[in-house]
C-alpha cells in the first residue's frame, strides 16, 4: 500500500503534476484549497451573494454544490439556488443532490430550443430570473484547458475573455477531472456506473486526446494553459503587474 506523503496514512491518489501521494483527508484538503483560491480570485464573496449553481447530476456540478454549501455553511448572507437544465438525462440525480444538500432548485428544459450557446443562455437567464448575483458552474481543469486550447486553435481568443450579463465563476477550474470524479465518488455524490458521456464533436475529442497526451508526457500542461488564459484576463484588466501566476501544481 502506498502511503500519503503528508501523514503516512494510506494514499488514495497520486498526483503526477505535484509528485504527491495523498490520503483521503489530505486529498480533500487539496481540493478545498484549490477551490478557495479560485473563489478568492473572483473577489466576489466579501459581501452577501445569491449564487445560482448549474447542476447536471454529473460528478462536477455535484462536487461543486457540495463543497460550496459546506464552505459557506456559516455565512448567512450567502445562499444558493440550483439551476437544473433538462437535457433528457441526469435530472432525477440532480434533484436528489439538491434535496440532499437542502438547496432549492429550478428546472429549465432544453427541449424545443435551438442555438449553439443554448445551455449557457438558459443558465444565465434562470440565474437572473431567480435573483442570483453570480452564476457558478462545475467546469473542471480539463474543461477549461480544452476550451482554451480549442479557442486558441480556432483564433477565438476574444471569446475566451468575453464578459456576460452577470459574473460567471468556475470554482473547480484548478481541479483536474480525475480528481473531481474521485471526490464525488468518495463523498457518495456520484456512481461511476451512472456516468453518461456528453456528446462531443470531432474537434473537441481531438483536442481532448492531444491535451491528455501532452499532460502525460509533460505533467502540468493543463495548468499552464489555464495560467495563459488568466494572464490574458489580467492583461485585459490592466492588472498584469500585480499578478501572481499559478505554479505548475495549481498553487
DSSP state of 169: E
23-31, 35-43, 101-109, 204-212 -> range binding Zn ion (CB under 5 A): 23-31
Name, in order, each residue with C-beta under 8 angstroms of 97's C-beta and a sequence gap of 6 or more.
55, 57, 62, 65, 66, 82, 189
Nearest distance, CB of residue 32 and Zn ion, angstroms: 14
Nearest distance, CB of residue 39 and Zn ion, angstroms: 24
For Zn ion, the closer CB: 13 or 55: 13
Q: Which residue, 202, 185, 204, 201, is CA-closest to 193?
A: 185
141 binds Zn ion (CB under 5 A): no
Nearest distance, CB of residue 23 and Zn ion, angstroms: 3
11 binds Zn ion (CB under 5 A): no
20-28, 125-133, 185-193, 234-242 -> range binding Zn ion (CB under 5 A): 20-28
22-30, 160-168, 211-219, 222-230 -> range binding Zn ion (CB under 5 A): 22-30
For Zn ion, the closer CB: 9 or 89: 9
21 binds Zn ion (CB under 5 A): no
For Zn ion, the closer CB: 26 or 208: 26
CA 154 to chain centre: 23
127 binds Zn ion (CB under 5 A): no
- Identify the sign of the CA torsion 25, 102, 128, 78: negative
34 binds Zn ion (CB under 5 A): no
26 binds Zn ion (CB under 5 A): yes
Cα dist from 104 to 79, 158, 223, whole Å = 10, 35, 34
DSSP state of 193: G
- Torsion of Cα atoms, 98 then 104 then 110 then 114, to 10°: -130
CA 162 to chain centre: 18
Question: Binder to Zn ion among 15, 18, 23, 179 (CB under 5 A)?
Answer: 23
For Zn ion, the closer CB: 11 or 64: 11
Amino acid at each position: 500500500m502506498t502511503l500519503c506523503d503528508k501523514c503516512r496514512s494510506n494514499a488514495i491518489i497520486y498526483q503526477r503534476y505535484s509528485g504527491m501521494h495523498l490520503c483521503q483527508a489530505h486529498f480533500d484538503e487539496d481540493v478545498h484549497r484549490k477551490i478557495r483560491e479560485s473563489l478568492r480570485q473572483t473577489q466576489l464573496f466579501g459581501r452577501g451573494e445569491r449564487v445560482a449553481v448549474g447542476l447536471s447530476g454529473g460528478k462536477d456540478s455535484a462536487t461543486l454544490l457540495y463543497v460550496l454549501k459546506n464552505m459557506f455553511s456559516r455565512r448567512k448572507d450567502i445562499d444558493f439556488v440550483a439551476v437544473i437544465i433538462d437535457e433528457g438525462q441526469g435530472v432525477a440525480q440532480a434533484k436528489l443532490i439538491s434535496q440532499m444538500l437542502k438547496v432549492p432548485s429550478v428546472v429549465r428544459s432544453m427541449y424545443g430550443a435551438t442555438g449553439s450557446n443554448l445551455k449557457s443562455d438558459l443558465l444565465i437567464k434562470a440565474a437572473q430570473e431567480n435573483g442570483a448575483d453570480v452564476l457558478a458552474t462545475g467546469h473542471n481543469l480539463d474543461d477549461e484547458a480544452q476550451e482554451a486550447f480549442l479557442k486558441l486553435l480556432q483564433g477565438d481568443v476574444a471569446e475566451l475573455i468575453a464578459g456576460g450579463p452577470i459574473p460567471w465563476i468556475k470554482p473547480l477550474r484548478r481541479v483536474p477531472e480525475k480528481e473531481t470524479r474521485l471526490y464525488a465518488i468518495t463523498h457518495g455524490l456520484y456512481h461511476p456506473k451512472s456516468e453518461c458521456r456528453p456528446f462531443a464533436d470531432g474537434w473537441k475529442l481531438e483536442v481532448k486526446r492531444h491535451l491528455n497526451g501532452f499532460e502525460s508526457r509533460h505533467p502540468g500542461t493543463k495548468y499552464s494553459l489555464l495560467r495563459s488564459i488568466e494572464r490574458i484576463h489580467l492583461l485585459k484588466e490592466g492588472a498584469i503587474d500585480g499578478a501572481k501566476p499559478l505554479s505548475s501544481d495549481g498553487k
